[in-house]
Chains A and B, each alone.
Chain A
Amino acid sequence: MNIGEHDWNLDPLGQHIWRGQMETGQLLALARAVKEEGGQLVALWGSDDRHLHGGFGIHVALLTGAGLAWVSCALPAETPAYPHLAHIFPQADRMQRATFDLLGITASDAVDDRKWLRHAVWAKDEFPLRKDFSTLAAHRPSPPEADAYPFIRVEGDGVHEIPVGPIHAGTIEPGHFRFSIIGERILKLEERMGYTHKGTEKRFEGMDLATGAKLAGRVSGESHSAYAWAYCMAVETATASQVPERAVWLRALFLEIERIANHLGDLGYLGNDVALSFGFMQFWRLKEDWLRLTAKLFGHRYLFDCIVPGGVAVDIADDGKAELVAATDRIEAEVRSLKAIYDEHATLQDRFANTGIVKPDLAARLGLTGLAGRASAQAWDARAQFPQAPYDQLDVNMATQRQGDVLARAEVRFAEVTESLRLIRNLLARLPTGALHAPLIPVQSVCEGLGWVEGWRGEVLVAVRIGADGKLDRVHPHDPSWQNWPLVEVGVLGNIVPDFPLINKSFNLSYSGPDL
């Protein structure tokens, strides 16, 4: 496959997905070529491959003009290192730091080499994702105090800091925000994450493929279907297994149901954050009705464990289809009437517009992705540009905005709710007949696959390597929040502290997803 002028010797690994190995020396040139043609770095992670080829591996997933390229480099067992990529793709910074914390693989010459996922629990010279990491660590006494982290200080007359978290005032996941402010204006925000790091990647090791799907779905619970699908896609690619067509269409149905549930909830909370509790109550009424219908039709309010390797675990009957279609019509009318109110509401518009702006050029430079990216003119949606089945037969209309403010992110949600409702009707009308599930082809030797799904927040990616024993050897789930969290730091600059909850909610990023 060519990127720029050069053929990088990548082989197809799935629909719009490419796979290649190269020397670490070529990595920088590849990254530059991708950047030059307007591509992005989607994910960066490492692996302990000493049991396979005696060394470590560094992996990058790059968005290119021809699809997603998954490129790996073998690294020596002693002092594994690769050239840092954050000067080309700034979003690589935290991924590089996490890769060091978990595997001891160094990004050479990196400007920022502070710890990221490691707090006080394991030592600097211990690496949990190495295969020889001692499980005795589970029985160690816990640290008596929270760890120290070198925040970047802002100094000067009248500057002071507000530390927030890890436990927040509302029902939100834990993380730490360090504000430097003058008066009410935010001069700098620095995030400190990793509080929900619960050893998910280590947990995958040695797991059977079916249980792995359940764990993948719990990487970030509100994106259950996106993760479960991406994981299953990776496993099915690795084992060269076919999935029945009906199952593939039902997976897309589940993904769109999940997107609508999340967008409805967010639109309610955005109203709530500008003191329009009417908006919260109305949208959460719609969301609750939607969740109850989901539970009635598929047995779970959030579709947990409905996507399984080889297919899906639940079906929909004709009367269920009719009920779901009726619900989409009802919600579409209700959302339209609520949007008319949001559009007319002066206070809401005043608080939403020009708040938390991420301009398109900055979004492109820093790699903003997903829903938030589309609100900053990053016209990119995997369902539209590089559709996996069945989206290749659905012509998804992408929603974009240019303003990059809270209002733009709300507008993208409104547009995506309408589009997902249309997609659901389309999926139901054309749902193929046939089996729900086909057995996976048994594993003969070490194999690998990648899954790539446009979840409600953005693109979710899961890379899987299966050992010769048929058990999971290495699984890396990647959340779009990795790329987007740094943009929240940028988006709040110059805004007042009381607008932070609103700006943060407009992105609504995951903590558990990137903390792993």
Chain B
Amino acid sequence: MATHLILQKIFKTGIVSEPMPQADLGLRTREQELHADILKVFGQAVTIRHIDAGSCNGCELEIHAINGPHYNIDGMGVKFAASPRHADVLLVTGPVSRNMEVALKRAYDATPEPKWVIAMGDCGCTGGMFGESYASCGKVSNVIPVDVEVPGCPPAPTVLLQGILAAVSKDKKNA
């Protein structure tokens, strides 16, 4: 019986989730333009729309990883949405390929205000190894405004989570 085996495995495995990391406010690239009352509405819950704008698929590995049981992002109030229209945050990976430029801009426009953009990975932050070329626009902020940059190739899951929390958490300035 599969059900019996599943329950047995669940009990044997126990809870592997770990405590959440602290927000790393040093990753912010610009002053948060948000008012405290907006943050009150959101609390610290946030819905993310991931956009691969030309990544090598390395950063995607870590986005998958934070959805695993060790990180328990649901418990932090973080969830991923299928549409930019349902998102508070766009999590953008890759150097922005020119073939994805239009799609990225459209997704940005489709995301309701207030919105945050996180550029993930060395390519998203600087253009990385691919830089700017006939086929690459380079870093994400060359195409849409970016609030938080999370470097790394790819950034480890806890670093990514610190960046996500930095985008949406209150800090002293606007608390």
A residues lining the B interface (CB < 8 Å):
119-122, 128, 133, 135, 137-138, 142-146, 166-167, 169-174, 194-200, 202-203, 214-215, 218-222, 224, 265, 278, 280-282, 284-285, 287-288, 291, 295, 301-302, 304, 337-338, 340-341, 344-346, 510-512, 515
CB < 8 Å neighbour of A221 from B58, B95, B101: B58
Question: CA separation between A278 and B153, bound complex, in Å?
Answer: 30
Contact status B52-A172, CB under 8 Å: yes
Which of the 9-residue segments B28-36, B38-46, B66-74, B166-174 touches chain A? B66-74
A218 near B58 with CB under 8 A, answer: yes
Other 12 A-B pairs with CB < 8 A, given A195-B54, A218-B128, A287-B68: A142-B98, A146-B102, A195-B100, A196-B99, A199-B133, A221-B57, A282-B9, A285-B16, A285-B68, A337-B5, A344-B5, A512-B57
* Beta-carbon nearest neighbor of A227 in chain B: B56
Contact of B99 among A121, A167, A171, A346 (CB under 8 A): A121
Is B164 an interface residue when CB atoms closer than 8 A count as contact? Answer: no
Contact between chains at B57 and A215 (CB < 8 Å): no
Q: Would you give the shortest CB distance from A199 to chain B, in whole angstroms?
A: 3
Pairs A–B under 8 Å by Cβ, sample size 26: A146-B103, A167-B103, A170-B80, A171-B64, A197-B99, A203-B130, A203-B133, A221-B59, A221-B61, A221-B154, A284-B67, A285-B13, A285-B70, A288-B68, A288-B69, A291-B65, A301-B62, A302-B154, A338-B9, A341-B6, A344-B1, A344-B2, A345-B2, A346-B2, A511-B57, A515-B97
Report the contact-size class of chain B (Cβ under 8 Å from the partner). Answer: 35 or more
Per the bound structure, the CA–CA distance linking A319 and B156 in Å amounts to: 25
Closest Cβ of chain A to B96, distance in Å, is 9
A341 touches B68 (CB 8 A): no
Set of chain B residues within 8 Å of A215, measured between Cβ atoms: 129
For A142, A196, A295, A304, the residue with the greatest tally of chain B CB atoms inside 10 Å of its CB is: A196
Q: How far is the CB of B6 from chain A (nearest CB, A)?
A: 5
CB contacts (< 8 Å) of A280 on chain B: these are 68
Instruction: Report B-chain residues with C-beta under 8 Å of the C-beta of A281.
Output: 68-69
User: Closest residue of chain A to B64, judged by CB?
Assistant: A171
CB-CB < 8 A to B68: which residues of A?
280-281, 284-285, 287-288
Asked whether B153 lies within 8 Å of A304 as measured between CB atoms, the reply is yes
Q: How far, in angstroms, from A281 to B57 measured CA to CA in the complex?
A: 21
Task: Report the 5 A-B pairs with minimum CB-CB distance, sorted nearest first.
Answer: A221-B58, A199-B135, A284-B68, A169-B82, A137-B134
> Separation in Å of the A309 CB from the closest CB of chain B?
16
Within 8 A of A (CB), among B103-155: 103, 107, 128-137, 153-154
Kindly identify which residue among B16, B70, B100 contacts A174, using a CB–CB cutoff of 8 Å.
B100
| Inter-chain contacts of A511 with B (CB < 8 A) | 57
For A198, give its contact among B6, B13, B63, B95 (CB under 8 Å). Answer: B95
Taking A137-B134, A288-B68 as contacts, is the C-beta distance between A198 and B97 under 8 angstroms?
yes
- A138 with B102: CB separation less than 8 A: no
Separation of A203 and B129 alpha carbons in the complex (Å): 8
